[in-house]
Amino acid sequence: MLEGSILYQLKSAHQSGQGTQRSLNFGVYYKNTLVALCHALEDCILTCSSEPLVITAFQRGKWYLEEADRYAELAERSRQVVIMAAPDSGFGEHPTSQRQNVELVSLNVDDPVAEEWHLMILAPTYSAMVLCQELSEADYGKQGFPTVDLERKFYGFWTFEANLVQETMELAIAHLRSYNPTLADTLTDHIQAIVSTPIEQRDPLESIVSRVVDYLQESHTITPTHNIFDQPQILDSNLLSNEVQAFLRMAQLTDQADVLNPNAAAEVATLVEAMGQFLDLPVWQLNRLKLASLLHRLAPLQSSTSMLTPSSFGRYPEEQSMDAPCCPLVPGAQVLRTMPQLRAIATIITHLGEQWDGSGQPGGLAGDEIPLESRILGLVAAFQQQVADQSAKSEGTLSIPECLAIALAQCQQEQSQRWDPKLLETLTLLVSGLQQGLNLPVSLPKISAGLWLLDSHDEALISRS
């Protein structure tokens, strides 16, 4: 990572153990993934209910020229667009560059930002960011730089978190101040105006995530063939990984918005893994349970409309799209079904409301008819929420063991009615261990490496829904 670059500065500010900043999860992205991801996040500007500030870094002017026409449309919906790149022929002559609210910053060729690919979008109702730096020749190793442009690799991360976008924009503004102090002052004023704007509701994240997933899925079908690419499967996996990441990032924001229970998903994932180990579940099933745990709090996505039909690009066969659940659909779970790899996860989440005696929803399933993962996750999620509620109500007057005991007792009151008695026995054993000092470290998931949670062992579970 180049010292002095924006990515370097942000990573340094979030190094683990330094101050109060949490560490960030970084990953490696192929160019084809970044193109689809950036186009999706950029196009959300066109439907944004407020005007964003947009700061980008294109590495070289020639890459900006490829996108200049679409940036003219984006500029019409933005308060200001700033483009940083090392200048090439025609960089400043394109009509988009002449727009009043578009500013070009011609970077020196030795500026480390000239090796970076950034997209930062900040508005009162919408925020998103891609922050990446191209791998160096040493990073590529013996294979050297790729001969195909879309195989180029970048190191970094992306997010919807407004506070991170604002922090990074401020680093970018500080960097370009040496090039254009007046512009830096103007951008600082824009940020202050954006963060001070009162808003009743942000643009729905579910529709933004739906767009991201759609664009990434579309890229699967336009990836060059095996005759051109040496590593088509790796490129495809990189796109798939980011589709999973989109859902995980949305779930992460759902947790962060819950002041009283901000670590719910991570804590539930830790508890279900322990439960699964007590039950001697296979590794693939544990992974599936962990992923379902991380996604189980996704809000109902009734307003989310996929821009692509399942078979629009030939990725999903027509007969598969007709394989609908036999019970009423749960919108928050249905959006996951846009990815075949998440259909089993969608089934688990769909049946979280089922009850052991058959009185639950949406399918009215009873006993062992309810998928095992749904029974485990439903019980653990309810228990974890009860612990959080007790801790909040007591305002610190109750110890953790006391909160665990109260939460467990509340679950036991619903034994054989709502919960599987055998699973409740396992939970009781787990709680006893926790009260006696069993340590289960809870850590936030590494979102950029979430692909390993996917598994193909889903046929039996999918057949239930």
pLDDT tens-digit readout, 268-294: 999 999 999 999 999 989 989 999 999
Name the least confident of 18-22, 30-34, 226-230, 445-449: 226-230
For residues 205 and 352, give the distance between their C-alpha atoms in angstroms, rounded to a whole number.
23
Q: Which carries the bigger pLDDT value, residue 408 or residue 199?
A: 408
User: CB-based contacts of 302: which residues, under 8 Å, 6+ apart?
Assistant: 331
Q: Which carries the bigger pLDDT value, residue 253 or residue 373?
A: 373
Q: What is the pLDDT of residues 233-281, one digit of tens each?
A: 655 666 677 777 778 877 877 787 777 888 899 999 999 999 999 999 9
H or E segment and range at residue 112? none
Percent of the chain with pLDDT over 90: 45
- Is 145's pLDDT higher than 80? no
Chain-wide mean pLDDT for the chain?
Answer: 82
- Is 231's pLDDT higher than 60? no
Give the pLDDT score at 88.
83
For residues 49 and 197, give the distance between their C-alpha atoms in angstroms, rounded to a whole number.
13
Six-digit token pair at 170? 């401020």
- Is 464's pLDDT higher than 60? no
CB atoms within 10 A of CB 405: 17
- Is 215's pLDDT higher than 90? no
Instruction: Give this prediction's pTM.
Output: 0.73
Mean per-residue pLDDT for 222-237?
Answer: 50
**Which residue type, as a one-letter code, is found at position 93?**
E
Exposed, middle or buried, 142 (CB in 10 Å: 0-12/13-18/19+)? exposed
- Is 411's pLDDT higher than 70? yes
Give the pLDDT score at 330.
57
Mean per-residue pLDDT for 404-433?
Answer: 95
For residues 270 and 442, give the distance between their C-alpha atoms in angstroms, rounded to a whole number.
6
**Which residue type, as a one-letter code, is found at position 253?**
L
Q: Which carries the bigger pLDDT value, residue 266 or residue 309?
A: 266
For residues 36 and 46, give the distance between their C-alpha atoms in angstroms, rounded to a whole number.
16
- The answer to whether the CB of 188 falls within 8 A of the CB of 166 is no
- Is 325's pLDDT higher than 70? no
- The answer to whether the CB of 250 falls within 8 A of the CB of 298 is yes
Q: Which carries the bigger pLDDT value, residue 314 or residue 362?
A: 362
User: DSSP for 357-418?
Assistant: TS--SSS---GGGS-HHHHHHHHHHHHHHHHHHHHHHHTTSS-HHHHHHHHHHHHHTTBTTT
Q: Give the pLDDT band of residue 320 (cuts 50, 70, 90).
A: very low
CA distances from 65 to 151, 166, 292 (A): 20, 26, 42
Q: What is the pLDDT of residues 51-98, one digit of tens each?
A: 999 999 998 888 888 899 999 999 999 999 999 998 887 788 889 989
Rg (the chain; Cα; Å): 24
Give the pLDDT score at 434.
93
Q: Give the pLDDT band of residue 367 (cuts 50, 70, 90).
A: very high
HSE on the CB side for 8, CA within 13 Å?
A: 12
Give the pLDDT score at 305.
37
- The answer to whether the CB of 117 falls within 8 A of the CB of 6 is no
Helix-, strand-, coil-residue percentages of the chain, each rounded to 5: 55, 10, 35
Domains of the chain: 6-201 (3.30.870), 246-462 (1.10.3210.10)
Give the pLDDT score at 176.
94
Give the pLDDT score at 23.
73
Give the pLDDT score at 227.
42
Length of the chain: 465
Under DSSP, the state recorded for 45 is G
- The answer to whether the CB of 150 falls within 8 A of the CB of 31 is yes
Give the pLDDT score at 255.
80
Give the pLDDT score at 144.
73
For residues 123 and 45, give the distance between their C-alpha atoms in angstroms, rounded to a whole number.
9
- Is 387's pLDDT higher than 50? yes
